[in-house]
Amino acid sequence: MNDAAKLIYDGKEYVFPIKRGSVGPSVLDISRFFQESGAFTYDPGFTSTASCESSLTFIDGDKGVLLYRGYPIEQLAEHGDFLETCFLLLYGDLPTLKQKNEFVPLITRHTMLHEQLIRFYQGFRRDAHPMSIMVAVVGALSAFYHDSIDINDPKQRVLATLRLIAKMPTIAATAYKYSVGHPYVYPRNDLDYTSNFLHMCFSVPCEPYDINPVLSRALDRIFILHADHEQNASTSTVRLAGSSGANPFACIAAGIACLWGPAHGGANEAALRMLQQIGTPDRIPEFIKRAKDPNDNFRLMGFGHRVYKNYDPRARIMQQTAHEVLNELGVRDDPLMAVAMELEHIALNDEYFIQKRLYPNVDFYSGITLRALGFPLSMFTVLFALARSIGWIAQWKEMIEDPRQKIGRPRQLYTGAAPRDYIPLEQR
Ligand code: SDX
């Protein structure tokens, strides 16, 4: 097996070392190409570009495989829990019982927010999209927790990591309470991570709130599914922001902003709005036709993926979880579930979708479950951000701890005006 690739450019031969991973595609190391040739490589959207080395998450898009530190997502979703997954992504292996018993209380004891942070919420309109609040409040954490923003101090990096994992549910729940005009609910240390989040979202001071263990387990599983996903757009945003030395709270706020887009994490909200717009199975052909029309920018939200050219393994678990939650809530024949399953069936048997290898992704079924759990559509991407925070933080940690890391600074193909002289105003 050769360990170099050759390229002829402008009559000269260039040799690129090939780096091979533990599994998956190899890479051609072209980092010296511009220095030696004066030309750039060109890859808008990074369809063929590996931006870094990572040992966190592996995706095989053709086979529909997703591994966190080598463990298949199906096994983690079935047997694990979200905080265990956080430990796995941060430290490389599943925690022992002793490690888990030490890790969980560390998170629990950081779930409260600085009381003055609550005032930030009052500055927003009640109908502000909760993602705008998430970007603002998470970015503002760096104004309150000065003892965990020095990225060169390992102890401060750990403290920032614990605070972000612990406070994201409190920030998210407080954004929800603000939007519905309810009093904020403080975290409770006697509840597990996800039960505590449900409690902060849905309990009210006037009466007890009983946690449904089936629903809490389902949401915890949804968090596991969303925890990390290689170098997706928001994770790449966090890495790029972190490469400048920005503090971790600012980097995570940048990731939240990027995730908001409907092509990325915003697709779960957009997918449910699409299902509501379709309304009944008999209207599906009209929307399939629009999705295939090159002159119509309508797309089936929750369908298609840059990497998965097979069924997103998370979507399969999301569909199973949707059925589990609807059954637990006694919801028979949810009309949107009927539309979603019929839409999937029709699309997966349609030549256009088969040829372009478009399958349901993680966002296709999640909205049905989140709505059934009681969350408004505007909170769907907030929940995605809550769960993905561990992936962003773990990827940021991996980058910061890499002695080779440097500021990310892509170049361009310039197609603008050639050099020209200034024209005085009276001559224009
Ligand atoms: C997430 O990267 C990650 O890992 C993301 C994520 C994560 O966990 O971080 O998995 C989470 O963001 C999932 C994706 C959620 N987005 C959506 O569901 C929005 C709808 N999907 C599309 O916008 C699209 O599929 C993307 C953005 C997800 C992927 O876009 P690509 O890889 O750039 O592919 P493309 O836009 O070039 O599409 C290829 C072809 C195009 O047709 P042609 O121009 O070649 O003729 O497929 C068509 C597209 O028009 N196409 C679709 C479609 N998605 C792609 N046609 C109809 N409906 C769709 N959903």
Rounded Cα–Cα distance for residues 208 and 217 (Å): 20
pLDDT at 1: 64
Ligand 1 mean position to 376 CA, how many Å? 24
Distances (CA, A) of 21 to 58, 65, 92, 359: 10, 16, 17, 27
Q: Rounded mean pLDDT of 57-66?
A: 96
Instruction: Determine the residue of 293, 301, 358 to mutate for testing ligand 1's pocket, defined as the one with the most ligand atoms within 8 A of the Cβ atom.
Output: 358
Q: Please say if the pLDDT value at position 56 is more than 80.
A: yes
Residues in the chain: 428
| pTM of the full structure | 0.96
Residue 2 pLDDT: 75
The answer to whether the CB of 159 is under 6 A from ligand 1 is no
Q: Which sign does the torsion angle of CA 101, 400, 146, 223 carry?
A: negative
Residue 332: the pLDDT is 87
pLDDT, one tens digit per residue, over 299-335 is 999 999 999 999 999 999 999 999 999 999 999 889 9
How far apart (Å, rounded) are the C-alpha atoms in residues 387 and 385? 5
Give me the active site residues, please. Answer: 305, 363
Contact status, residue 389 vs residue 141, Cβ threshold 8 Å? no
Residue 339 is encoded by which pair of tokens? Answer: 């539309």
pLDDT of amino acid 252: 98
Task: Pick the range with the lowest mean pLDDT from 9-13, 103-107, 346-350.
Answer: 346-350
Helices 154-180 & 193-202 angle (0-180, nearest 10): 30
| C-beta of residue 265 within 8 angstroms of C-beta of residue 135 | no
* 269 Cα–ligand 1 center, Å: 15
pLDDT tens per residue across span 119-142: 999 999 999 999 999 999 999 999
> Stretch 237-250: mean pLDDT, rounded?
98
Distance 103 CA to ligand 1 centre (A): 37
CA 3 to chain centre: 34
Beta bridge partners of 17: 4
User: In the predicted model, what is the mean pLDDT of the chain?
Assistant: 96
Query: At residue 379, does pLDDT exceed 70?
Result: yes
Taking the C-alpha atoms of residue 251 and residue 243, their distance in angstroms, rounded to an integer, is 9
**Helices 130-140, 248-259: crossing angle, 10 deg rounding:** 170
Q: Whose CA is nearest to atom 30 of ligand 1?
A: 306
- Tokens representing 383 are 């929940």
The answer to whether 212 and 328 are in contact (CB under 8 A) is: yes
Q: Which helix (H) or strand (E) is 97 found in, with range? A: helix 97-108
- What would the pLDDT profile of 192-239 be if each residue is shown by its tens digit? 999 999 999 999 999 999 999 999 999 999 999 999 999 999 999 999
Distances 374 to 202, 203, 356 between C-alpha atoms, Å: 8, 12, 35
Ligand 1 atom, smallest distance to 361 CA: 13
Rounded average pLDDT over 270-278: 97
For residue 168, pLDDT beyond 80: yes
Q: Distance between CA 216 and CA 325 in Å, rounded?
A: 10
Tell me how far the alpha carbon of residue 168 lies from the centroid of ligand 1, in angstroms.
28
C-alpha span between 384 and 363 (Å, rounded):
9
Average pLDDT over every residue of 53-62: 97
